[in-house]
Structure 1
Amino acid sequence: MRVYRHRVAGDSVAIRVPQTTEELDQFTAWAQRATVRGAIALDTETSGLDVFSDGFCLRTIQFGDASEAWVIHWERGGHFRRAAAQVLRKARRFLIHNAAFDWLVLDRHAGIALEDLAPRTRDTRVMAALVDPRQPQEGGIGTALKPLSAYYVDRTAPDAQGDLTSVFRSLGLTKANGFARIPLDHPLLNLYAGLDVIFTARLAPILSAALDRLGVRERLVDYEHEISRICAHMQRRGLILDVPFTHELNAALREDAQEYAGIAARYGVESVNSNKQITEALTGMGETLTERTAGGAVKIDKAVLLALADMDLQWKRLGVRTPNPLAEAILKSKRAGKWRSTYAETFLETVDSSGRVHPFINSMAARTGRMSVTRPALQTLPSSDQMIRRCLLADEGHVMVSTDFQAVEMRVLAALADVRRMKEGFQSGGRDFDIHMFTAQLIKGEEATEKDRKLYKGAGFGKVYGGGISTLARQTGASEDEIRRAVTAYDHAFPEIRRASARWQREARATGMVTVSATGRRMPLDRDRAYAVVNYQCQSAARDLLGQALINAESAGLLDAMRLPIHDEILASVPEREAKDYAREFERAMTFDLFGVPIVAEAEIGKRSWGSLYGATY
């Protein structure tokens, strides 16, 4: 038995690494005693992060409590695997930090089904995010195990990642291949593997006490674990990749990036990533660049270039100026390059042996609880895109169905702020009620135009998302004076929004700049951005409606059909012959009453590709 000693918060702890069957028997005996005492902390060491890639392997599984850890070398096979699997199947409860990853690792590589392990798990990362969702750059502790352990358990908690990176270098390995190739018996690998479960075991009761002290309801904690499990289920299933199409797209994007870079070069911009060259060229073309960065430099970001190219954030023409050809060429070259590396190449790098890609779904990615989809970041695709979405397919004999909340941000705002006129409109207007034209007519009369609708839509979203006058002007194509007048008129039409904002800000200041959502989620505010409270309240409530919709859909037997949660929609792969029945059930799962406001959804049935829902022909 190899035993490593370490001190945690002044206590001596032991990390045990069994080498023989007799020592494995000692491990299983310890586990039998430990599971009677309470939850066992659990973690894995793997060759990397792409759980579904062909080269991925599970190296060790570690179990522990507050004073003792056992590192089981799964990679050795035989008795080691049998002993670990026995404990995984029989232990009553587990504590895992970032459980979704380990659930999928153990499901795919250890034969322990997600459905079996998840109900027995408490995730300390979920608990930490409910205490304080902010990342370090936002003034929080973060949700990674190391900073949480250093803050709550032992300020000298070692930086395992940093120390192991140094070891990798000494062994001639890189950060990319180090975890896969470091010798299984390396003392540092085993020490830190064991310490992770000890820290997790110590962290759990501290976070539990913090949640109790802050009044976070146990029901909310359970709810987040349910959503995490459902998202892991979707990630495990994945989507079929149209590999030939993706190769063609990859080549086309490379050509587009080069073509538009060539156009930019004719205007004197040799590199589309050189802000200096772009600034000089645009100024030479007679453009006036007034926006500045915090450091005082001329700002040449996407928003500035889109305005110069006469496009909104969705790349649609605004019709307010002559498009600048250089700005448009730079945007198109950079987008093609980014889409190639972020999407096409990532799809091809991560597709598994069965032809599926498994985008990572982070069920709690922001202060508001908003979900995200990464590797690749599919939630950042423009709503008009069909090209990237065309790469992803429903199963054989299936079609894609997308069920999307209708105007959910404005419905949530009306419900939370109790906006009388908005609520009346939503209640009497039916499923197809257009809140933005309703607002335009409320302010301008029956003669309100489509331009008025767009203007007041921008003002409304400014209320929800906290956009400033200049940002709203850029997004709508209206002048800043027009936006100011629209916002003022909006406030007169719906005075409850300003009153709710003021009330939420007062409540937050009385509780240490924390606003609490309708479901009890704690969301810290930045003191210089207290106005963002409306955005936080609305986005959090909308996210929790989507989370409840996922749970409702599972209860309706739709879990195996679901593929992705994207913004305010659920994407599903369903049998073509039963598509209408599935669409109806998804709409039912996404229909609610929120404080008297009907929350409704509309399902759209596509063809086989996700892109078919956006105009693609397949």
Structure 2
Amino acid sequence: MIEYSFPVLGQQIPVRVPQAVEDFQAFQRYIIDRANAGERVAYDTETTGLATYSRDFRIRTAQFGTPNQAWVLQVEKGSDLQRLSSWALRTLPALSMQNRNFDMLASDRHLPGITLEKLAPKTLDTYIHLHLSDPRRRDQGGIGNGLKDASAHYVDPSAPDTAAGLYDEFHKIGHTKDTGWRHIDIDNPLYLSYAGGDVILTSRLLPKVQARVAELGINPSLIPFEHEVGYVCALIERRGMRIDREYTTRLSAELSDESARWAEEARKYGVENINSTRQVSAALLGMGEEIKERTAGGAVQVDGNVLKRLADVDRQWDPIGSRTPNPLAMAILRSKRASKWRTSYADAMLRTADENDRVHPKIGALAARTARMSISDPPFQQLPSGKWEVRRAVIADEGHRMISVDYSSVEPRVMAALSGDERMTAAILRGDDLHNLTAASVYGPDFVPAQRKVAKVVQLGVAYGGGAKTIAAQTGLTLPEAQAAVRGYKRTYPRLARYIRSLQAQVIRDGYTLRTPSGRRLVFDRDAAYASFNGEIQSTARDIFAQGLLEIHARGLTQHVLLPVHDEIIADATDNEAPDIAREIGEAMTMTLRGIPLGTDPDVGGASWGSLYMKTANTMIDNDPWYRANPEAAHIAERERG
């Protein structure tokens, strides 16, 4: 037996690494004793990286621990150790993990006989409890939801950071914090003692955060709710999404060429490096542009928001029509977008795909402050809603068609339900278009499409706590025009305006905290009470979506789901079943909130995810230079949509 230690509260807690037969027998006795006592044991893995389904991913160690000891099995050394880890996981009746989906999925894939279905029902996640008690990261003023930050607060402020503490070891062998996990010696003493430290800390952390959740009066039903939502997301992540490797490889090359073409266009205006703030700002100012925005250091700001304003496009890249687009701003935006799409999407899919060419995006079921989900590696949530090129890389299973089901105007409906605004509620129940109603109120019944678009921005801007200045920047309106639009919006929905003011005052009185309709606790910065209504909307919409996901699972439809993204479910089914499956998923998601119906828009596409977003070829070629540079794309769009 090799024995190391991990310091907690001035004590050296033993970390045992069994080597011989008698050592493994001692480990088995430890597990059996814990199982007979019904004691919850913390479980964790050390792996080669985070891409669980990439072809070269593997588990290096599996560790088990209680507050006063830890055991580390070096499963990388052989199948016998893998089987021993599997036996322990099957034998133990209760487990705890920090961010359990990662370790459950790694074990499901790489340990014999272990499945999500067996692990999830008996595992409590410390991360879920931490998020429910305070959803803020440390850099947002919270305790933090990571193991180190949480342990420093609840367990021992002086306990080592078991991740950062290894970075020096990685540097010694010529690797970084990202690559060192794969290459560090499996017998490295610090590596093994810190592996044991993770489960010791997790085991001590769980009762602390359970007590904190109870102390704060968090709705207790949220604990099993979030565990079930996380489990369903893990099932979806395990299934993954099939990619067209040939298309994705070609897309990567095309995006690289596109980025270079637009960077070359920027050079015509004197910008040799599009990432140089100094060069870009000097060139734009030299073209006569007025840029009022400044960085914290006082330099001219030329971030994406500024460039889009100058290029006269909104956040979704749709033309605003408020000015003549600046060609340099557009060239820089397009070069950077193509580069980002290549690295974050095309190359990420090729890098993380498993042996069956399926990618498994990581689904953070409980991520943002508001609890909204996140999708990473690849970050599909960040794709503009109307673009299809990257989505075209994801294809349905053989003989299947893609399905999309999303909520119909969920955020305005949540706004109406929360505020009780009579006029907004009546309009929704009549089936009126809220943006048309707002535009008519602000501009009169003869409003034009551009004014309806402004009304939409105003509605979201007011809800999100944005002022007239922000709305002006997003729409191209002058500040007085934006101020007039905001006043018109508030006249249209007076009770909504009163509710927002009342909610902000209540949040301040309650110490900058808010309880949502589900009983979730949101915490706001002292200077950000204005964001409270946005937080309530986003959190409530997320809980509605999560409840819909659980209903999908209860109806046995999870096998069809490929990804939950924003307020949309992406799924697939056989050609014959697709319309019925889309309808059933839509029915599962449909519900009411305080009398406001929350309906869905099911859609069935073709063979790829992109088919659900493709426009006609002529429209694409007319409106986007990318298609003029890639004429075959239009033909693909026409062929696949049918």
TM-score, normalised to structure 2, is 0.93
Shift of 1:172: 4.4
| Separation in 2, partners of 1:164, 1:575 | 48
Shift of 1:360: 0.9
Give the structure 1 partner of residue 554 of structure 2. Answer: 555
Does residue 8 (structure 1) correspond to residue 2 (structure 2)? The answer is no
Does residue 384 (structure 1) correspond to residue 383 (structure 2)? The answer is no
Give the structure 1 partner of residue 405 of structure 2. Answer: 403
Give the structure 2 partner of residue 343 of structure 1. Answer: 345
Q: Residue 577 of structure 1 aligns to a residue in which SS?
A: coil
Taking only aligned residues, the RMSD between alpha carbons, in angstroms, comes to 1.5
| Separation in 2, partners of 1:336, 1:532 | 32
Decide whether aligned partners of structure 1 residues 263 and 2 sit closer, same or farther in structure 2, where only a CA change above 3 A counts: same
Give the structure 1 partner of residue 25 of structure 2. Answer: 25
| Separation in 1, partners of 2:181, 2:261 | 40
- List per-residue Cα deviations over 1:471-509 (Å, max 9, x = no partner): 212323333222211111211221222322233223322
Give the structure 2 partner of residue 102 of structure 1. Answer: 103
369-378 or 497-506, larger mean C-alpha shift: 497-506
What does residue range 210-225 of structure 1 map to in structure 2 within 5 Å?
210-225=212-227
- List per-residue Cα deviations over 1:85-112 (Å, max 9, x = no partner): 1111121111000101001100000031
| Separation in 2, partners of 1:368, 1:29 | 44
Shift of 1:442: 4.6
State the one-letter code of the partner of 1:126: I
What does residue range 450-599 of structure 1 map to in structure 2 within 5 Å?
450-599=449-598
| Separation in 2, partners of 1:361, 1:162 | 24
443-452 or 259-268, larger mean C-alpha shift: 443-452
How many residue pairs match? The answer is 615
Shift of 1:78: 4.3
Give the structure 2 partner of residue 85 of structure 1. Answer: 86
Residue number among 322, 325, 330 corresponding to 1:323 in the alignment:
325
| Separation in 1, partners of 2:550, 2:363 | 16
37-46 or 493-502, larger mean C-alpha shift: 493-502
Percent identical across equivalent pairs? 43
Contact 2:49/2:57, CA 8 A, preserved across alignment? yes
| Separation in 1, partners of 2:286, 2:177 | 45
TM-score, normalised to structure 1, is 0.97
Residue number among 202, 205, 208 corresponding to 2:207 in the alignment:
205
Shift of 1:249: 1.0
Contact 1:234/1:564, CA 8 A, preserved across alignment? yes
Q: Residue 342 of structure 1 aligns to a residue in which SS?
A: helix
Contact 1:562/1:572, CA 8 A, preserved across alignment? yes
Give the structure 1 partner of residue 607 of structure 2. Answer: 608
Q: Residue 467 of structure 1 aligns to a residue in which SS?
A: coil
State the one-letter code of the partner of 2:124: R
Give the structure 1 partner of residue 41 of structure 2. Answer: 40
Give the structure 2 partner of residue 64 of structure 1. Answer: 65
Give the structure 2 partner of residue 154 of structure 1. Answer: 156
Shift of 1:184: 2.0
State the one-letter code of the partner of 2:48: S
Give the structure 1 partner of residue 626 of structure 2. Answer: none
| Separation in 1, partners of 2:450, 2:128 | 44
Shift of 1:176: 3.9
Contact 2:38/2:93, CA 8 A, preserved across alignment? no
- List per-residue Cα deviations over 1:371-415 (Å, max 9, x = no partner): 111111111111111111111111111111111111111000000
- List per-residue Cα deviations over 1:301-354 (Å, max 9, x = no partner): 111111111211111112221111111111111111111111111111111111
493-502 or 65-74, larger mean C-alpha shift: 493-502
Shift of 1:17: 1.2
Decide whether aligned partners of structure 1 residues 44 and 507 sit closer, same or farther in structure 2, where only a CA change above 3 A counts: same
Moved over 6 A (4+): none
Shift of 1:230: 1.1
Decide whether aligned partners of structure 1 residues 596 and 109 sit closer, same or farther in structure 2, where only a CA change above 3 A counts: same
Shift of 1:40: 0.8
Decide whether aligned partners of structure 1 residues 584 and 101 sit closer, same or farther in structure 2, where only a CA change above 3 A counts: same
Contact 2:370/2:538, CA 8 A, preserved across alignment? yes
Does residue 184 (structure 1) correspond to residue 186 (structure 2)? The answer is yes
State the one-letter code of the partner of 1:18: P
What does residue range 218-257 of structure 1 map to in structure 2 within 5 Å?
218-257=220-259
325-334 or 472-481, larger mean C-alpha shift: 472-481
445-454 or 275-284, larger mean C-alpha shift: 445-454
| Separation in 2, partners of 1:12, 1:248 | 55
State the one-letter code of the partner of 2:15: I
Does residue 300 (structure 1) correspond to residue 299 (structure 2)? The answer is no
Question: Where does the alignment leave 5 or more consecutive residues of structure 1 unmatched?
Answer: none
Contact 1:64/1:198, CA 8 A, preserved across alignment? yes
State the one-letter code of the partner of 1:86: W
| Separation in 2, partners of 1:411, 1:394 | 32
Does residue 52 (structure 1) correspond to residue 39 (structure 2)? The answer is no
Give the structure 1 partner of residue 621 of structure 2. Answer: none
